[in-house]
Structures are given as C-alpha cells and as structure tokens.
Structure 1
Amino acid sequence: MRKRLFFWELAGFLLTSAVGSLLHFVYEWRGGSLAAAVISAVNESTWEHMKLLFVPIFLFSVVQACVLGKDYPNFLAVRAVSILVGLLLIPVLYYTYTGVWGQMRDWANIAVFFLAALGAFLLDFYLLRRNRLSAPWQQVLGLIVLWALAFCFVWCTFRPPHIALWRDPLTGTYGI
C-alpha cells in the first residue's frame, strides 16, 4: 500500500507541475475568457501563481479521494494541510529570493513553483503514511478548508484586495 501511495503522490506532483505550468498561459491563450480566469493566472501576481498550484492539486484531490479515500480516512485533512503548506511556500520563497537578489528571475519563479508542489506532496505522503489528522472533525474541517480556498481563488481573481500579494509586479494592477 505504501508503494501505491508513493506512485499516486508522484503522479500528483508531476500532474500538478505540468498542468500548473500550462495554466500560467491559458487565460492569455483563451483571449481573456472569464471561464479561463477562474482556473488560470490572469496576471503575474503572487496570488495568481498560488492559484497555479492550487487548481491542479484540488482537481487531482477529487480523483485521489475517490480512489484512495477508503484506504486513507485522513485524506481530506492531510490534503488541506499539505496544500496550505505548498501555498505558503510560494510567497515565502518568492519574497525571500527577490529580497535577497533585489529582482525577479523567471527561472527562479519556476523553481519556486516546483519546490512548492514538491513540498506539498512530500508532506502529504508523510502525513498519510503516518495516519495523522484522522479524526472525523478534522476531515470535515479539511473539506471546508479546501472549498474555502477554491472560493477565495475565484473571488480574489475578480475582487482582489489591494495589497502586495495580489499586485502584478509588472503592471502594478490587481486582478483582471
């Protein structure tokens, strides 16, 4: 069962990396479509890059929960924690490296994304294997957190707060 979980987590990391990278361009490819804005980055803000991590992990989680849910009754809470850690890694790593170097680098942004995805799936694998966060109330809370994040990513694309996390560093704009 451990080997099966490893392959699911590896598939999740690879899928998230590939789909998240593609989602960076979907809004532009679709000509600014509102439907594309819901799932893809609409600008270069840190928040929109966090969406590139969240969307594929969230969608993969639906499939993974259906397949592995009975074997891992702690799945929802663990996934909520691991996705929060992955999302937190993006601004922490991004603002750290830009603060040190004084400028943004495309290759470093890509590395930040992959490191955040890797961190999320490694933590996920660790917590699932050790059966952490398995209380029923934790599963309910995990489900609420996942759906609340989904709502926030959609909402903040169209109604972003005017603070640094939502500001496009290239244009100085917020949201769409």
Structure 2
Amino acid sequence: MTITHRWILKGIPVIIIIACIMHYAYALSGNSAIVGLFAAVNESIFEHLKLSLWPMLIWWVTGYIIHDQRISATNWFTATTVAMLFCPLFITAFYYTYTGAFGIHSLFLDISSLVIGVIIAQYLALHIYIHARIGLKCLIISLTILMILIFFSIYFTLNPPH
C-alpha cells in the first residue's frame, strides 16, 4: 500500500472527527456567520451535508498539497469529487429511508449515516484513484463539480431553500 493509499484511508477517522466537531462549531463560535458557512447552523438535512463536504474537501486538498509530486492530479481530484458527491447522496438517502419509509428518528442513525457514508466514499475514491484511467477533460469536469458543490453549499447557507 502506497503513502497516498494510506492517506486516503487515514482520512476516514479524521473526516468523521472533524465532522463531529463541526456539528457544534457554529454554536460554540457564538453563531459566527463565517463559521456558519462551513458548519451546520441548524438541524436540517442540508446543513448536515456540510459536515461531510468541508472535512472531506480539507482532507483531500491537504493530501494533494502534501503529496503533489507523487500523485496523479487527474485521478486525485476525480476521486475527491466522487467521494464528495457520494457521501452526501448516501447520507440523504439513508436519512430519508429511515425517517420517511420507517418513521424512525434517531441520533444514532444520523451519526451512523455520516460514518458509513464517509467509509464507503473514501474506499470508493481509493478504488477510483488506483484503477481509473482519467484524462484532462475528466479533471476539468471534476474541478467544475467541486466548485459547484462549494458554491451551492455557501449559497444555500445564505439563502436557505424553503
């Protein structure tokens, strides 16, 4: 296993820990507007999606900065994008399955959805990083999707959908 493979897998507990801290960061900051751009400002499902988005982005960008001479940028950022798309989709599907379909409301299941989503997303991203043959066009698409995710995360925090 290479250093980049280990980096991706080491991200699992780090991302989960940062996400848990970010759940309370807004309240602990005295409701700082800047912190609210990155941390959950209320208990909506949308706000909780930021708990996976920002820690994952920080982890993957930090990994790129640290390992830039040893990794493929095209594979790295495509894997990043896949992880950052998969995790919120998983959390959302998991949440609406147990609340909507089964009528269950559970903090344990809320946390479990984040943990399971991060684990699957990181392993999926690792698989893509190792096995995908990705070109420049895919890198551009991936970076565009990342920018869109970041933009809408901030936009919907400032302009919540009703």
Report the Cα distance in structure 1 between the residues aligned to 2:42 and 2:95, rounded to whole angstroms: 16
% identical aligned pairs: 26
Contact 1:69–1:75 (CA under 8 A) maintained in structure 2: no
Pair 46,101 (structure 1): closer, same or farther in 2 beyond 3 Å: same
- Displacement of 1:43: 0.6
Report the Cα distance in structure 2 between the residues aligned to 1:21 and 1:121, rounded to whole angstroms: 17
Specify which structure has the higher proportion of helix: 2
The answer to whether the aligner puts 1:125 opposite 2:126 as a matched pair is yes
Structure 2: runs of 5+ lacking an equivalent: none
Aligned residue runs from structure 1 range 47-126, under 5 A: 47-70=46-69, 71-73=71-73, 74-126=75-127
- Equivalent residue of 1:43, what SS? coil
Structural RMSD (CA): 1.4
Q: Which residue of 1 aligns with 2:3?
A: 4
- Equivalent residue of 2:2, what SS? helix
- Displacement of 1:6: 3.0
Q: Deviation string for 1:39-90 (max 9, x for gaps)?
A: 1000111111110000011111211122334422311122112210111001
- Displacement of 1:107: 0.6
Report the Cα distance in structure 2 between the residues aligned to 1:118 and 1:57, rounded to whole angstroms: 11
- Displacement of 1:100: 3.8
Report the Cα distance in structure 2 between the residues aligned to 1:46 and 1:77, rounded to whole angstroms: 25
Structure 1: runs of 5+ lacking an equivalent: 163-176
Contact 1:77–1:133 (CA under 8 A) maintained in structure 2: no
Q: Which residue of 1 aligns with 2:30?
A: 31
- Displacement of 1:133: 5.1
Q: Which residue of 2 aligns with 1:167?
A: none
Q: Which residue of 2 aligns with 1:158?
A: 158
Report the Cα distance in structure 1 between the residues aligned to 2:48 and 2:133, rounded to whole angstroms: 28
Report the Cα distance in structure 1 between the residues aligned to 2:152 and 2:133, rounded to whole angstroms: 24
Q: Which residue of 1 aligns with 2:147?
A: 147
TM-score normalised per structure 1: 0.85
Pair 133,88 (structure 1): closer, same or farther in 2 beyond 3 Å: farther
Structure 1 runs of 4+ aligned residues shifted over 4 Å read: none
- Equivalent residue of 1:161, what SS? coil
